[in-house]
C-alpha cells in the first residue's frame, strides 16, 4: 500500500511542533500587503522625523554647552543643581531618540527580510535543529549513536551530528472552508538504524510529514508520524533519531496514516477529542537483509486490508490529558499464516505539585513489532522438517516520565520504560535470524537527563541511560550510556 506522506514533527519539551496561522484568500492577502507597505512607509517617515529631532537637539546641546561654559567663567552665575541640568536632560532625550531610531530600523529590516519562496507563492519556512551528540557506551549496543538494546561485548565512544533535523513548514490556500498547512522533517540517520527503518550510507532519511485541513473544531490529515494511539513521547536530546525508550515501551514508529480529528468543547476549561485513521504498518526490522534489495510487501500490505486505529481523549486547560485508544491490523504471509495485530492503550499527562508533571503510556496487544514493540518482532517460528510453525507474540509494556521544570530554561527528566513479550510463548520455538533480536523477550530502559536552554535557539543536555536486555532463557545484558548533546534551533 502506498500512501502520500506529509509533515511533527518537533516535537515535546525544548526539543521535537508548530501551529500555523490561517492563510488569507488572494484579495485579502493583497490588501494586507498594501497595509504592510503603508506601515513600512510610515515607519520610514518616523525614522526621518527622529533624525531631524536628533539634529535639532544636538544643536540645542551645543548652544547650552556654550552657555554653561560662559556661566562657569562668570563668578556671579548661579550653579545648576544636578537634577536640573538642561544638558543632562537633553543628552538623555538624544539617547532615547537613538534607541527609538534603532528599534524602528530593526522593524523595517524585519518587514523587508527575504523569505523562502515556493512555486505556489504561499508562505514557506525553513526550520530545524543542528544537533551534536557525544556518547560513551559501557558495553556493546545495537546502534552506537542511538542505542536501543544491549548486545554485550566491547564498549564504544564517539561523536555524531547525524541526528540533526531539517524541516520545511508551509501554509496553503483555503480549501472547503479549511486552512491548509504542511510540513516535513528529515535527518541524516539513514543506514545507521535497524534495516527496515533506514536507507544506506548515513544519508538523509524521511522522519515525519503532515498535510492538514483544519476547520474550527475538525481536522483532516495525511501524515507520517507516530501512531495516534501513542501521542506522548519522552524528553531527550541524546535519543532523537529513534525517540527515547524506543523498543522499551514507547510505541513510536513513524507510520503513514490518513485520518480525521474532531474536538468538542465540554465547558470553558475542558474538551474532548476523537481521532480515527487508517494506517500502513511496516514489519519490524529484518536483521541480515540487505537494504539495497527491492523492498518486499509487508505482512500488513499482503493482507490487502489497511490497519485502523482510534483514540478518544479528555483534556483540561491546566494541562491534564488522558486518553484511551485501540489498534487493529490484519497480517498475512499466504494462506498458511495469518494473524490480526491489535493493541489497547492508555496515555496520560498529569500536572503535579509545583512544577512537576507526569506523563506516559501503557499497552497490551499482539504482533506489535511494526509499531516499535513486541521485542522487535511480530511472531516467532520453528521449522520441524520442511514445515514451518508460526506463533504471533503477545506483548505488554509502557513507560512513564517525571518532568521537573526548575525554571523556564532548565528542566529535569527521569523516565522508565519496558516492553515484554511473553517468554512462555518464545520458549516453545527455535527463533530464526539474529539472536539479539529474535530471541529477545524483554527490553527495559531507565534514563535521567537535564536539558538547559539558555536562549530560545540553543539547547544543551547531559543524559545517563541504562539498558537491560533479557533473552527468553532469562539471561540479560546491561549497557550504561552517557551522552552529551548541544543543539542550535532555527
pLDDT of the chain, 490 residues: tens digit per residue? 333 333 333 344 444 443 344 444 555 556 667 667 777 777 777 777 777 777 777 777 777 777 767 766 554 444 444 345 566 666 666 666 666 666 666 555 555 555 666 777 788 999 999 999 999 999 999 999 999 999 889 999 999 999 999 999 999 889 999 999 999 999 999 876 444 443 334 688 999 999 999 999 999 999 999 999 999 999 999 999 999 999 999 999 999 999 999 999 999 999 999 999 999 999 987 543 444 455 578 999 999 999 999 999 999 999 999 999 999 999 998 777 899 999 999 999 999 988 999 999 999 999 999 999 988 899 887 776 667 778 899 999 999 999 999 999 999 999 999 999 998 888 777 544 445 577 889 999 999 999 999 999 999 999 999 999 998 876 789 999 999 999 999 9
Q: Which residues contact 70 (CB under 8 A, 6 or more apart)?
A: 77
* Neighbouring residues of 373: CB distance < 8 A, sequence distance ≥ 6: 247, 249, 251, 343, 363, 365, 395, 397, 419
Among 135, 209, 199, CA closest to 167: 209
CA 281 – CA 366 distance, rounded (Å): 14
Among 370, 417, 393, CA closest to 249: 417
**Rounded distance, CA 424 to CA 110, Å?**
64
| CA-CA-CA-CA torsion sign (178, 280, 190, 444) | positive
Q: Which pLDDT does position 257 carry in this prediction?
A: 97
CA distance 58 to 287: 77
Which runs of E-coded beta strand occur in 333-393? 338-351, 356-366, 379-382, 389-392
Rg of the chain, C-alpha, whole Å: 30
- Whether the CB-CB separation of 343 and 364 falls below 8 Å is answered with yes
CB count within 10 Å of CB 283 equals 19
CA-to-CA dists, residue 24 to 122, 123, 171, 216, 317, angstroms: 10, 11, 10, 15, 29
pLDDT score recorded for residue 200: 39
Closest CA to 219 of 387, 444, 6: 6
CA-CA distance, 276 to 253, in Å (whole number)?
A: 17
Distance CA 486, CA 459 (A): 6
pLDDT in the model for residue 103: 62
What pLDDT is attached to residue 303? 93
Comparing CA positions, the residue from 349, 170, 153, 166 lying closest to residue 240 is 166
- pLDDT of 102 reads 61
Q: Which of 400, 466, 394, 479 lies closest to 436, judged by CA?
A: 479
How buried is 248 (Cβ within 10 angstroms: 0-12 exposed, 13-18 middle, 19+ buried)? Answer: buried
For the record, the C-alpha cell of 307 comes out as 490497519
* Residues 6 or more apart in contact with residue 93 via CB below 8 angstroms: 57
**φ, ψ for residue 54, nearest 5 deg:** -60, -45
Cell matching residue 25: 484568500
The CATH architecture assigned to 124-489 reads Beta Barrel (2.40)
At 321 the pLDDT is 97
Are the C-beta atoms of residues 434 and 411 closer than 8 Å to each other? Answer: no
What pLDDT is recorded for position 286?
59
Query: With b meaning 16 or more CB within 10 Å and e meaning fewer, what string describes 375-387?
Result: bbbbbbbeeeeee
Report d(CA 64, CA 69) in Å as an integer: 8
* Rounded-to-integer distance, Cα 50 and Cα 431, Å: 80
Residues in Cβ contact with 181 at an 8 Å cutoff, skipping those fewer than 6 apart: 20, 23, 169, 170, 171, 172, 210, 211, 212, 214
357's CB contacts (< 8 A; 6+ apart) are 319, 349, 350, 351, 402, 403, 404, 405
State the pLDDT at residue 432: 46
C-beta neighbour count of 432 within 10 angstroms? 14
Calpha distance 480→417 (Å, rounded): 15
- SS3 state at 82: helix
Amino acid at each position: 500500500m502506498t500512501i502520500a506522506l506529509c509533515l511533527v514533527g518537533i516535537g515535546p519539551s525544548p526539543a521535537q511542533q508548530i501551529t500555523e496561522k490561517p492563510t488569507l484568500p488572494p484579495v485579502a492577502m493583497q490588501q494586507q500587503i498594501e497595509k504592510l507597505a503603508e506601515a513600512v512607509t510610515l515607519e520610514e517617515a518616523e525614522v526621518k522625523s527622529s533624525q531631524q529631532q536628533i539634529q535639532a537637539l544636538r544643536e540645542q546641546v551645543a548652544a547650552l554647552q556654550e552657555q554653561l561654559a560662559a556661566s562657569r567663567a562668570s563668578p556671579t552665575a548661579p550653579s545648576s543643581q544636578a537634577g536640573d541640568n538642561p544638558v543632562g536632560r537633553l543628552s538623555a532625550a538624544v539617547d532615547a531618540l537613538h534607541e527609538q531610531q534603532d528599534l524602528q530600523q530593526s522593524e523595517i529590516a524585519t518587514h523587508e527580510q527575504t523569505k523562502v519562496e515556493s512555486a505556489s507563492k504561499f508562505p514557506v519556512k525553513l526550520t530545524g535543529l543542528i544537533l551534536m551528540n557525544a556518547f560513551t557506551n559501557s558495553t556493546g549496543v545495537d546502534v552506537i549513536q542511538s542505542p536501543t538494546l544491549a548486545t554485550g561485548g566491547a564498549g564504544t565512544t564517539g561523536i555524531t551530528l547525524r541526528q540533526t533535523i531539517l524541516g520545511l513548514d508551509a501554509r496553503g490556500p483555503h480549501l472547503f472552508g479549511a486552512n491548509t498547512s504542511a510540513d516535513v522533517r528529515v535527518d541524516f540517520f539513514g543506514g545507521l538504524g535497524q534495516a527496515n527503518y533506514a536507507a544506506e550510507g548515513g544519508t538523509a532519511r524521511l522522519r515525519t510529514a503532515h498535510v492538514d485541513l483544519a476547520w474550527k473544531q475538525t481536522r483532516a490529515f495525511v501524515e507520517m508520524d507516530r501512531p495516534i494511539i501513542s501521542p506522548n513521547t519522552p524528553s531527550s536530546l541524546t535519543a532523537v533519531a529513534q525517540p527515547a525508550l524506543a523498543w522499551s515501551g514507547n510505541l513510536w514508529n513513524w507510520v503513514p496514516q490518513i485520518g480525521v480529528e474532531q474536538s468538542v468543547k465540554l465547558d470553558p476549561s475542558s474538551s474532548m477529542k476523537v481521532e480515527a485513521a487508517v494506517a500502513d504498518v511496516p514489519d519490524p526490522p529484518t536483521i541480515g537483509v540487505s537494504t539495497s534489495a527491492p523492498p518486499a510487501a509487508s505482512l500488513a500490505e499482503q493482507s490487502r486490508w489497511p490497519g485502523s486505529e482510534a483514540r478518544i481523549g479528555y483534556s483540561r486547560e491546566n494541562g491534564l490529558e488522558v486518553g484511551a485508544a485501540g489498534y487493529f491490523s490484519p497480517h498475512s504471509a499466504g494462506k498458511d499464516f495469518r494473524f490480526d495485530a491489535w493493541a489497547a492503550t492508555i496515555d496520560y499527562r498529569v500536572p503535579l505539585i509545583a512544577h512537576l508533571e507526569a506523563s506516559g503510556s501503557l499497552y497490551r496487544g499482539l504482533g506489535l513489532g511494526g509499531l516499535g514493540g513486541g521485542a522487535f518482532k511480530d511472531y516467532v517460528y520453528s521449522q520441524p522438517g520442511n514445515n514451518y510453525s508460526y506463533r504471533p507474540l503477545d506483548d505488554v509494556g509502557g513507560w512513564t516520565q517525571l518532568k521537573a521544570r526548575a525554571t523556564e530554561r532548565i528542566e529535569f527528566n527521569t523516565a522508565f520504560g519496558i516492553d515484554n513479550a511473553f517468554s512462555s510463548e518464545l520458549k516453545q520455538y527455535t527463533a530464526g535470524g539474529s539472536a539479539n533480536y529474535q530471541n529477545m523477550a524483554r527490553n527495559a530502559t531507565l534514563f535521567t537527563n537535564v536539558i538547559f536552554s539558555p536562549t530560545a535557539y540553543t539547547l544543551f543536555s547531559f543524559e545517563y541511560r541504562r539498558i537491560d536486555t533479557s533473552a527468553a532463557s532469562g539471561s540479560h545484558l546491561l549497557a550504561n550510556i552517557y551522552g552529551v548533546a548541544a543543539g542550535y534551533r532555527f
